[in-house]
Structure 1
Amino acid sequence: MTTLLNHLAEGSASAPPLLLGPSLGTSYALWDAVAPELSVAHRVVRWDLPGHGGSAADLVAPGATVGDLANLVLALADSLGLERFAYAGVSLGGAVGLHLAVHHPERVASLAVLCSSAHFGGAKPWQERAARVRAKGAEGLAELAGSADARWFTPGFTVPRLVRDHRDADPAAYAACCDALAAFDLRDRLGGIRVPTLLVAGREDPATPPAQLREIADAVPGATLTELPGASHLAPAERPEAVLTALRAHFDGGAGRGMAVRREVLGDAHVDRAQSRQSPFTARFQDFISRYAWGEIWTDETLSRRERSMVTLTALAAHGHYEELAMHVRAARRNGLTADEIGAVLLQTAVYCGVPAANSAFATAQRVLAEEDTGAG
């Protein structure tokens, strides 16, 4: 028996993890136009609800709660070795994110809730939908799929793959997810959310109108609300560029931008090695380095990267940090410095920081440059 949610992982295994949750009736294909771009700076893991896409229907039972779905997400994260992760979810997937932020704040680094709510209009409509699907089975789902475009998209827009996912979902699992929506209400717990939170509303969303996202934004300390014109309930499918812009600004911030710069300067191989050695004990320090050193200092355009490399080589040589110096000699070459320019920097260091320091620095630089030349050859 399969005990894990079906999922798709994209991006470097050492990049900061980002989990993406779907809406009721859809699969992880909801994120097709967004996830590949997010995976440039993140290890993106998108997952299917029970009975949807490739997830087994028996992962959920009648009377299910959003907490049950959140536990399945945590089990998936555990299986992938993800101790802490950023999370974004649409509708029911967004409710899962709110539950995680309230009940498992130690696991959630940052949260984005799209086209969702802290409550979904009371239990009765969802109980009635669940009863209808249980009574009619696949026929009931087909009827609901027939009206999906009106509930999900602005007039004239559709994504056939997602409508097909709705029609092909398992009726029992779909009904159990309706049970979860019927029982969900976190309005009295929103003030306890302390993770950075973004709310994204589709201005033309009839299912979770902007007022419901505003209610969350007003209750969660420091939360940000973005309203997307021309978007209905499944904004990542209908307005992927706008959603991508909002999510990048929220999730990348200093750490995400810093990680990208860190990779550009030091190279993927070095960063992947550093990330693979990361432990819960060192995770906050690594985040600090990415956010502050690389996300704020190295991205400051006052100095060019060439100039920053020169300063860095001088400082490392002066303090005798020769292992770091070797790494930054390679980075200096990547930033456009020639071997002669690196030598001139070390001569300058000899004058103002001492000959012994420069002597050891020349030895380190000579070894690295020789390795670089051999590799190029």
Structure 2
Amino acid sequence: MTATLLNHLAEGPASAPPLLLGPSLGTSYALWDKVAPELSAAHRVVRFDLPGHGGSAPDLIGPGATVGDLAGLVLALADSLGIERFGYAGVSLGGAVGLHLALHHPERISSLAVICSSAHFNGAKPWQERAALVRREGLAGLAESADARWFTPGFSVPRLVRDHREADPGAYAACCDALAAFDLRDRLAEISVRTLLIAGRQDPATPPAHLREIADAVPHATLVELPGASHLAPAQCPEAVLTALRAHLGGTARRGMEVRREVLGDAHVDRAQARQTPFTARFQDFISRYAWGEIWTDPTLGRRERSMITLTALVAHGHYDELAMHVRAARRNGLSPEEIGAVLLQTAVYCGVPAANSAFATAQRVLAEEEQGGE
């Protein structure tokens, strides 16, 4: 049976924010070997192989392929994994795929990192010539010069060179066709996704000027230049790439902590942070990222509505300590005592009178404390 999906490797908790990692032409997902495991502590990391590279079938694309075709394969992979919205980071051709996704499918992309890549790849002719060469002679000759194109002198990753040599020539050439046709320079200003650009200062394939061009055009983009890095920065300078990606991807957690404080109050959050231990640190991070950074920031519902839903759910499950906290939060979110009472009265119908009785007792205590504090 013919494979229809890109070969991939998933790492990290299924409940964590998804992050897809795209490789460069000629490599496999092994390009991310020194980065992905670290990112998977806080993300559901999915790294994939391009068609004909690593474990991906070569017939997923053919002659005349475009970057849009490759982006479609990435979306099909995400769909198969039940991933609706995801962060994306890609190197070189993988970065071009990310730019296409951010421009044409912004509703699917929560953040974008473009690494050692470009909005264009120096015109069509060099890539057309390379595609013709590979179709005629295979990849052995190009693989011999891979280190010089990918790394600074004296550095090598034999696994990646082997992947280059063993890639399918037809699929590799089709990827060259995609690079030949790619040019988004006149549309970069339309990209609205939060974007990080990472350039290797020693990169001969996509020099820093290419990343600066994107950073200057994409609104609110951030550019990081890595000294001593060449074209495959995640393999050559993994710690520097990790540092930049963590700072970029941490935006959800930071916003989550802001909302958490706005809703629950500084005193409560400070107490929770003070009680945090190495054992509970990942759980606290999960709450900030997922509950507060993803759910409570979704503009579909306002905070008043979210407070009413939360109160009902807590009554239904008998979580009265949490209920007390969220009665206070409901008051911060603009609910009057009468409105809170109306919510609890409705829980008597749908959650049961005993549950509502306990809930009223908890809410009455909290509201009395609030009134005394006000006085």
Give TM-score scaled by structure 1 length: 0.72
Aligned match of 1:300:
none
Per-residue CA deviations over 1:233-280 (Å, capped at 9, x if unaligned) read: 000000000000000000122427959x899659759969x97xx9xx
User: Take 1:50 and 1:24, find their aligned partners in 2: how far apart are those partners?
Assistant: 10
1:32 aligned onto 2:33 = yes
Aligned match of 1:80:
81
Aligned match of 1:285:
295
Aligned match of 2:244:
246
Q: Alpha-carbon deviation of 1:327?
A: 9.2
- Give the secondary-structure state (helix, strand or coil) at the position aligned to 2:87: strand
Choose which of 207, 210, 230 in structure 2 pairs with 1:209.
Answer: 207
Paired AA for residue 240 in structure 1: P
Q: Alpha-carbon deviation of 1:285?
A: 2.4
User: Take 1:94 and 1:233, find their aligned partners in 2: how far apart are those partners?
Assistant: 12
The answer as to whether partners of 1:126 and 1:179 remain within 8 angstroms in 2 is yes
Aligned match of 2:321:
325
The answer as to whether partners of 1:320 and 1:357 remain within 8 angstroms in 2 is no
Q: Alpha-carbon deviation of 1:325?
A: 1.8
Per-residue CA deviations over 1:88-135 (Å, capped at 9, x if unaligned) read: 000000000000000000000000000000000000000000000001
Are residues 327 and 25 of structure 1, via their aligned partners in 2, closer, same or farther at CA, if it must alter by over 3 Å? farther
Aligned match of 1:228:
226
Aligned match of 1:150:
148
The answer as to whether partners of 1:18 and 1:44 remain within 8 angstroms in 2 is yes
- Give the secondary-structure state (helix, strand or coil) at the position aligned to 1:49: coil
- Give the secondary-structure state (helix, strand or coil) at the position aligned to 1:8: strand
User: Take 1:265 and 1:324, find their aligned partners in 2: how far apart are those partners?
Assistant: 22
- Give the secondary-structure state (helix, strand or coil) at the position aligned to 1:86: strand
Per-residue CA deviations over 1:29-82 (Å, capped at 9, x if unaligned) read: 000000000001100000000000000000010000000000000000000011
Paired AA for residue 25 in structure 1: G
The answer as to whether partners of 1:126 and 1:182 remain within 8 angstroms in 2 is yes
Are residues 156 and 222 of structure 1, via their aligned partners in 2, closer, same or farther at CA, if it must alter by over 3 Å? same
User: Take 1:320 and 1:49, find their aligned partners in 2: how far apart are those partners?
Assistant: 49
Q: Alpha-carbon deviation of 1:357?
A: 3.6
Are residues 242 and 271 of structure 1, via their aligned partners in 2, closer, same or farther at CA, if it must alter by over 3 Å? closer
User: Take 2:32 and 2:195, find their aligned partners in 1: how far apart are those partners?
Assistant: 19
Paired AA for residue 152 in structure 1: W
Alignment of 1:93-108 (within 5 A): 93-108=94-109
Paired AA for residue 95 in structure 2: G
Choose which of 187, 193, 196 in structure 1 pairs with 2:194.
Answer: 196
Alignment of 1:1-377 (within 5 A): 1-137=2-138, 141-255=139-253, 265=280, 284-286=294-296, 323=319, 325=321, 356-357=361-362
Q: Alpha-carbon deviation of 1:320?
A: 8.9
Q: Alpha-carbon deviation of 1:283?
A: 9.0
State the Cα RMSD in Å: 3.3
Paired AA for residue 81 in structure 1: G
Q: Alpha-carbon deviation of 1:136?
A: 1.1
Are residues 271 and 120 of structure 1, via their aligned partners in 2, closer, same or farther at CA, if it must alter by over 3 Å? closer
Are residues 213 and 220 of structure 1, via their aligned partners in 2, closer, same or farther at CA, if it must alter by over 3 Å? same
- Give the secondary-structure state (helix, strand or coil) at the position aligned to 1:151: helix
- Give the secondary-structure state (helix, strand or coil) at the position aligned to 1:106: helix
The answer as to whether partners of 2:151 and 2:236 remain within 8 angstroms in 1 is yes
Aligned match of 2:329:
none
The answer as to whether partners of 1:41 and 1:256 remain within 8 angstroms in 2 is no
User: Take 1:115 and 1:270, find their aligned partners in 2: how far apart are those partners?
Assistant: 30
Q: Alpha-carbon deviation of 1:323?
A: 1.6
The answer as to whether partners of 2:85 and 2:108 remain within 8 angstroms in 1 is yes
- Same amino acid, percent of matched pairs: 73
Per-residue CA deviations over 1:180-209 (Å, capped at 9, x if unaligned) read: 000000001100000100000000000000
- Give the secondary-structure state (helix, strand or coil) at the position aligned to 2:196: strand
- Give the secondary-structure state (helix, strand or coil) at the position aligned to 2:199: strand
User: Take 2:152 and 2:255, find their aligned partners in 1: how far apart are those partners?
Assistant: 33
Aligned match of 1:346:
none
The answer as to whether partners of 1:266 and 1:327 remain within 8 angstroms in 2 is no
- Give the secondary-structure state (helix, strand or coil) at the position aligned to 2:106: coil
Q: Alpha-carbon deviation of 1:169?
A: 0.1
User: Take 1:328 and 1:247, find their aligned partners in 2: how far apart are those partners?
Assistant: 38
User: Take 1:220 and 1:235, find their aligned partners in 2: how far apart are those partners?
Assistant: 22
User: Take 1:71 and 1:239, find their aligned partners in 2: how far apart are those partners?
Assistant: 30
Unaligned runs of 5+ in 1: 290-315, 330-354, 362-377
User: Take 1:108 and 1:214, find their aligned partners in 2: how far apart are those partners?
Assistant: 22
Aligned match of 1:373:
none
Are residues 267 and 115 of structure 1, via their aligned partners in 2, closer, same or farther at CA, if it must alter by over 3 Å? closer
Paired AA for residue 36 in structure 1: P
- Give the secondary-structure state (helix, strand or coil) at the position aligned to 1:20: strand
Give TM-score scaled by structure 2 length: 0.73
User: Take 2:164 and 2:94, find their aligned partners in 1: how far apart are those partners?
Assistant: 15
